[in-house]
Structure 1
């Protein structure tokens, strides 16, 4: 009975949290902390093997608690619907910035596009979303039928279907790795997952679907299917491309030509559209601008930035991002070579480490960026990303300011927890009891 009451309480708290404006950080933090605590309590109250059906429907209930509300902590969804709407009227979202498109049609009577434009957070940038992402946006735009709320609901339904796929794949992989099935609670009831995927409509959950599907197919020696799913993960978000060294040093994948051919054709099939009207030029220009201009919730980058201020007297972001990108690539290749995974479990552990290296060295780490790595980490003995799904709530403090000004105290608190978890995970792995064991 206590477990049922906890789930109902968490659903009620999520219902309130979904309506809490992002500038009310104190209330957001309190509600988030209570829900996270409820998840942890449920985890420890549960036996190693749990009832899959009951847990599944309890997680669906938690997602339905935030279903009816507009995203409170991110306005990215308006760009998603904007790009999708352009595609429905046979316009290319990579060829013009939203402002250029609006100025080229001053007499446009498309009130739906006009309302979306007023809510965009990046009207002067070309779209940075890969073609597979754009396909999902288009479905949302078609379903919206001129209503932003219809667009919200359509995208949410697709993302919840993706979450159901994650639930199934995680369950199967936990069985494969002979880990307690209750570990799935840490994903399925996690408030960050529910808020950022179902609530804020971010697509990292679909990236996780493809990565998990790739791993399961690899275990079943369906190499063409594994490579295809990995290619789809890259086509949804470019980031899984950094996993190339891990697969190259994994003997089961390296020696299998079918895996690489399927990956290649999956990516080509999705990205070939960027050559239409030279769209790739603006697409990659936006990515370069994003990498060299924006900063949010960084860790190592912020420390080096302060050194740059001390030496140069100005923000050295362009130089630092190039240096850190190079360092990230070298570290990924080095650890892939050093670890040379021989089993699927070791491969997953390496994938989690690669994501960790990347995120620790990045100048921009939005909360939803950690979702794919967190999902993968549940298959390992590492707890860093689990801790980060709580610690990242401190970054929400900046969302409450009109200029997104970050507090050094909150940043320190977040990364103190993260780096403490890294220490216990990677430097004292045999001395501290594992949370998920």
Structure 2
């Protein structure tokens, strides 16, 4: 024990320091306190970099350290997001046989016999915006919510702990499968720790209960199966990823050249069939209209941490007197079209025959979408971290640090964003991305042909 301490004294101290910072973050931070939030996040980001630098080949040490960082949050209520109230609300509905896709919280709360534990607290906690809309969380997410409500025994904290443990196990799965996939791609398997120990991943997923990690577990599992030429087995796993979060749908066209026409059609059909099977328990005649309407809101009604859109809005409003609420609706439709077109071009023009090239195409497409989107919540970037892990690009790591600047909006009562901070964030990210595309040696990387 003493010899281990002598050999690993500095990493152990770094880990203890990180544990203390995570404890403060989890139990003694309000999101309105932006200076404290930024300071803690910056310190944790530096410490995770040093930990990997010192112990990148020590799998057991970094695994245990990453788990301990997550367990710090186990009994803490999420302090940067209120979405968990809606998760538990949906879970309580399903537990009691009520379809969350066809009933609005604002309509149900007035029922005297509503069979939901802590209904008023959940309703008030989710906020008026969520209460006025149908659930937009796909079926596998809903199953997790229901299990959390059942195992939580009607307790909000019990449900939170159940969901948190689910996310922790998913992250461990990503680490294990990610290392195996990295080996199949002839890349160093320690790169998986850039995901597992990233403060954004730990804080936004385990801390704030966002389910990108569960989606990414299925996504990485599917890619691992595909790397082992088991595409039939990968189809239901990829469908499960879609049914946690819809984002992997964007990448389906990119498999065209990787699989070839016949095999890709078979893969698409299987994924579609499994998605339908997962949807069937929730299907009703109003489901499609309600769900598509709610999902559409994210493209046409919301603005947060936007890059290109903010620049466009400044020009449109100041120079052409455009109305912001109308601009975002038109812009949202344009972004959908641009992303679909981008996916088609990458599928047809880029050589995606190798898995590394395919994942790089996914990274290009998702990066383009986020740069154009009017809403980029910090936890969205977790997907970029995973994709970048399997490529030579590292801009996603920088973005995962700079995105904390977007939380300045919560430090004032009107949730007004600081456009200077956002401009700083995006200029650094885009600048570093260009630097990586051109190559550190000054020679252009084979970005679009590889």
Structure-1-length-normalised TM-score? 0.94
Match of residue 255, structure 1, among 234, 259, 263: 263
Shift of 1:377: 1.0
1:356-375 deviation digits (Å, cap 9, x = unpaired): 01111111100111112211
Which residue of the partner structure matches residue 119 of structure 1?
125
Match of residue 44, structure 1, among 47, 53, 56: 53
Shift of 1:336: 2.7
List runs of 5+ in structure 1 lacking aligned partners: none
Match of residue 42, structure 2, among 17, 21, 33: 33
Shift of 1:6: 0.7
Which residue of the partner structure matches residue 11 of structure 1?
19
C-alpha change, 1:6 and 1:433, in structure 2 (3 Å) is farther
Residue 65 (structure 1) aligned with residue 78 (structure 2)? no
C-alpha change, 1:402 and 1:266, in structure 2 (3 Å) is farther
Distance 1:361 1:54 in 2: 39
**Count of paired positions:** 431
Distance 1:252 1:232 in 2: 23
C-alpha change, 1:357 and 1:433, in structure 2 (3 Å) is closer
Shift of 1:205: 0.5
C-alpha change, 1:250 and 1:433, in structure 2 (3 Å) is closer
Shift of 1:302: 1.3
Check conservation: 2:179, 2:190, Cα contact below 8 A: no
C-alpha change, 1:45 and 1:265, in structure 2 (3 Å) is same
Which residue of the partner structure matches residue 78 of structure 1?
85
1:180-238 deviation digits (Å, cap 9, x = unpaired): 23322211111100001110000000111111111110111111111222111111111
Q: CA-atom RMSD, angstroms?
A: 1.9
C-alpha change, 1:273 and 1:403, in structure 2 (3 Å) is farther
Distance 1:260 1:313 in 2: 41
Which residue of the partner structure matches residue 153 of structure 1?
161
Match of residue 173, structure 1, among 153, 156, 181: 181
List runs of 5+ in structure 2 lacking aligned partners: 1-8, 446-450
- 1:258-297 to structure 2, matched below 5 A, reads 258-297=266-305
Structure-2-length-normalised TM-score? 0.91
Distance 2:243 2:213 in 1: 14
Which residue of the partner structure matches residue 400 of structure 2?
389
Distance 1:274 1:364 in 2: 28
Residue 199 (structure 1) aligned with residue 207 (structure 2)? yes
Check conservation: 1:131, 1:235, Cα contact below 8 A: yes
Which residue of the partner structure matches residue 232 of structure 2?
224
* Superposition misfits of 4+ residues, deviation over 6 angstroms: none
1:41-82 deviation digits (Å, cap 9, x = unpaired): 2233345xx122222111101111222210010000000000
For the residue of structure 2 that corresponds to 1:81, the secondary structure is helix
For the residue of structure 2 that corresponds to 1:70, the secondary structure is coil
